[in-house]
Structure 1
Amino acid sequence: MKYYAAIDIGSNAVRLLIKRVNESEPRIDKRLSKVIMLRVPLRLGFDVFKNGKVSSGKVKKLVRLMKAYRQLLKIYEVSSYRACATSAMRDAANGAKIIDDITKETGIKVDLIDGEEEARIVYSNHMECMEDRRGNYLYVDVGGGSTEINFLVDGDLRFTGSYNIGTVRMLNDAVKVAVWEKLTKDLNELVVQSGSSSINIIGSGGNINKLFRLSKDSDKDRLRLPIESLCSLYQELSSLNLEERMSRYNLKPDRADVIVPAAKIFINISEIVKAEYIHVPVLGLADGIIDLLYQKDCLLGRETNG
């Protein structure tokens, strides 16, 4: 059995995903299945977006966590993995040093990826989950530090953008007006490109997955969350304080605060592109990383056999 892994060092949480390959599965998009997924809310972005760097205490915790993840990679005998750091580490004054420390202490090489690469990775396998790929779709991934968008027409990528608008940034009042304006401008241009055709959204990230599950009006069979339902849920969530959200919706503290700005970001985008729903496949950056690793191995295998 062959195993692949991805480590996502995000602004809100650090995730480890391990998947195994079932080579007997005829469909390539169905061959990978989840073995384990761990999520530890280190909340690096709260340090970075407020003070410009990751605190020494959180650096120590991050290194300890990566040591633990390294042991799991060994236990599962992972054949290939990739670790990626995103928005918070991009902005952190000590980000490069932290990455060096991780490599020295754990042997794990961490790639500091830019927003455009993050956007490409994060949408790489999601169209495989769509029954109907015809039409215009805006792939939107909302993280703690940034939002990535990809504009797809009949399954073909036409535009990629990354914006420093994220849930943790919003909670720290660290989103610049100019960035909102740039996102709005780009989205309006995509609307013009689409002509009279509608644009719907493919949503990614832990918050939209949770919002999808919380909404009573979600279409669970087609994995769709109507925008009208999202707006109603946002109004209810934003009217509650943190403790009330945790109690009423059974949310963890690190989800109860960021879920409100996440909903707001999705609503703002949906209003501009006039989306009717958000398609919510339960996949994220880590899934995209593993899919690309597997695709690379498959390509190398064909070249070797050829």
Structure 2
Amino acid sequence: MLKIQKYAAIDIGSNAVRLLISNIIEQKDKPVVFKKNSLVRVPIRLGADVFIHEDISEYNIKRMIDTMQAFSLLMKSHGVVLYKACATSAMREARNGSELKDKIEELCGIGIDIIDGEEEATIIAATDLHTFIDENKTYLYVDVGGGSTEFSVIHNGEKITSESFKIGTVRLLNDIVKNETWRELESWIKTNTNKYDKIELIGSGGNINKIFKISGKDIGKPLSYFYLTSYYNTLQNYSYEERITELNLNQDRADVIIPALRIYLSAMKWSGAKDILVPKIGLSDGIIKSMYNQTIPSTKL
């Protein structure tokens, strides 16, 4: 007997807002299958408001309400039965974040949970990582966002520790990451990885997904530290406009991709990792999995 239900995850990030709709496929005596059905991404970049001015602008408040109304309609038309909306760094730090949350619930009927960095790291780590990793190896999982980056150490298939740092692509673009924060990250990575003989990185986030696609590598094959360094140097030889016109990057990707690479390369350097795996998973996937496992509350549509 085949049972298929649709779940939706809304990820309100500092760089973009995403709606992921997944098919949850259940069959007797077989493991459940999570299959992506639809992904919509809107580059609102809330962090550009919040990390500089501490408030979400009226312009972006309107865009958020328009986007959430569109997401509500898309979920209904897809026949979604359960959803969960999570807001991260930008909404968390905005002085008017709670006000916008209430306004969206009133006008769009979508309830939003503003989660902290630790919960974000825990949800991300709940993804189907076991299908991508070797349980005899040790990994540093790095999820780069616009406002923060979440790190998890995974050893023998188990999460050992997680931490969130206020180092994100939008913060770096606006030059508001303190040297002290970089030093704290370096210390955390070295302290939590130097006890293992060999570390590999797992990277998630829109930027590393794009880089992996550009590389032409087959799914499951890692990118090397040498490749990422080379691509990082290549990008820096192009202006922002040339990255759009000549490298064919979207305008909301062409600027953040360089600071994203800086974070991944720093993590590889400090952990001693030579390779990075890119399984194309993130917070949205973790929300779907956590809803199914009932480890986080969800809302019926």
Per the normalisation by structure 2, the TM-score is 0.93
- Give the number of equivalent residue pairs: 292
Q: Please, which runs of 5 or more residues in structure 1 have no aligned partner? A: 298-306
The match for 2:160 among 158, 164, 181 is 158
Secondary structure at the counterpart of residue 26 of structure 2: coil
CA distance in 1, matches of 2:219, 2:177: 36
CA distance in 1, matches of 2:237, 2:46: 27
**For 1:127-176, what per-residue CA distance to the aligned partner results, in whole angstroms no more than 9, with x for missing partners?**
23225221210010000000000001111111110000000000011112
Give, in angstroms, the shift of residue 25 of structure 1.
7.9
Give, in angstroms, the shift of residue 106 of structure 1.
1.1
The match for 2:50 among 48, 51, 75 is 48
Give, in angstroms, the shift of residue 53 of structure 1.
1.1
CA distance in 1, matches of 2:265, 2:79: 42
Secondary structure at the counterpart of residue 249 of structure 1: coil
CA distance in 2, matches of 1:9, 1:141: 15
Q: Please, which runs of 5 or more residues in structure 2 have no aligned partner? A: 296-301
Whether the 8 Å contact between 2:220 and 2:279 is mirrored in structure 1 is no
Counterpart mapping for 1:2-13 below 5 A = 2-13=5-16
Whether the 8 Å contact between 1:139 and 1:150 is mirrored in structure 2 is yes
Give, in angstroms, the shift of residue 238 of structure 1.
1.4
Say whether 1:210 aligns with 2:214. no
Secondary structure at the counterpart of residue 134 of structure 1: coil
Whether the 8 Å contact between 2:20 and 2:38 is mirrored in structure 1 is yes
Secondary structure at the counterpart of residue 234 of structure 1: helix
What is the match of residue 242 of structure 1? Answer: 240
Whether the 8 Å contact between 2:61 and 2:100 is mirrored in structure 1 is yes
Give, in angstroms, the shift of residue 27 of structure 1.
4.8
What is the match of residue 109 of structure 1? Answer: 111
Counterpart mapping for 1:176-191 below 5 A = 176-191=178-193
The match for 1:22 among 19, 22, 25 is 25
CA distance in 2, matches of 1:24, 1:223: 30
What is the match of residue 285 of structure 2? Answer: 287
Counterpart mapping for 1:253-272 below 5 A = 253-272=251-270
What is the match of residue 141 of structure 2? Answer: 139
Whether the 8 Å contact between 2:14 and 2:45 is mirrored in structure 1 is yes
CA distance in 2, matches of 1:252, 1:145: 20
Q: 1:43 to 1:291 in 2, by over 3 A?
A: same
Counterpart mapping for 1:183-202 below 5 A = 183-194=185-196, 197-202=197-202
What is the match of residue 57 of structure 1? Answer: 59
Whether the 8 Å contact between 2:168 and 2:260 is mirrored in structure 1 is yes
Whether the 8 Å contact between 1:214 and 1:249 is mirrored in structure 2 is no
Point out the structure with the larger helix share. 1
One-letter identity of the residue aligned with 1:292: S
CA distance in 2, matches of 1:93, 1:167: 21
CA distance in 1, matches of 2:147, 2:50: 10
Q: 1:11 to 1:150 in 2, by over 3 A?
A: same
Whether the 8 Å contact between 2:127 and 2:282 is mirrored in structure 1 is no
CA distance in 1, matches of 2:122, 2:133: 21
CA distance in 1, matches of 2:293, 2:120: 17
CA distance in 2, matches of 1:131, 1:177: 33
Give, in angstroms, the shift of residue 47 of structure 1.
0.8
One-letter identity of the residue aligned with 1:259: I
Give, in angstroms, the shift of residue 245 of structure 1.
1.0
Q: 1:142 to 1:26 in 2, by over 3 A?
A: farther
Secondary structure at the counterpart of residue 139 of structure 1: strand
CA distance in 1, matches of 2:232, 2:28: 40
In angstroms, what is the RMSD of aligned CA positions? 1.5
